[in-house]
Amino acid sequence: MKKKFLLISILSIVVVALHSCYAQKKIAKADTASTFADPATPADATPTVVSDSVTKETLQKTWVLNFSDEFNDNVIDTTKWTIETSVKKRVDVTLYADKNQVEEKDGNIYIYYRKSPISDTAYNAGRFHSRGKYAPVYGFLECRMHVVKPNGHQTAFWMMPEGNGMKTKEGVDGTANDGAEIDIVEATKANAFSLGLHWDGYEKPAHKSNGRLIKAPNMHDTEYHTYGFEWTPTQLRFYFDGRVVATMVDAKLIPHVAEYIYVSGSCFGINNWVDGDIRANEFIKNGNTDKAYIDYIRVYKSKQ
Q: What is the pLDDT of residues 85-139, one digit of tens each?
A: 999 999 999 999 999 999 999 999 999 999 999 999 999 999 999 999 999 999 9
Separation CA 64–CA 71 (nearest Å): 20
| pLDDT confidence of residue 78 | 97
pTM summary value:
0.87
CA distance 160 to 83: 16
Which has the closest alpha carbon to 147: 177, 192, 197? 192
CB atoms within 10 A of CB 120: 9
| C-alpha R_g of the chain | 22
Residue type, 99: K
| Proportion of the chain above pLDDT 90, given as a percent | 80
Average predicted confidence (pLDDT) for the chain: 89
Is residue 13's pLDDT more than 90?
Answer: no
pLDDT, position 34: 56
User: pLDDT digit string (tens) for 48-71?
Assistant: 999 999 999 999 999 999 999 999
User: Cα(first)–Cα(last) distance of the chain, in Å?
Assistant: 49
Q: What is the pLDDT of residues 267-299, one digit of tens each?
A: 999 999 999 999 999 999 999 999 999 999 999
**Residue 249 and residue 58 in contact, taking contact as beta carbons nearer than 8 Å:** no
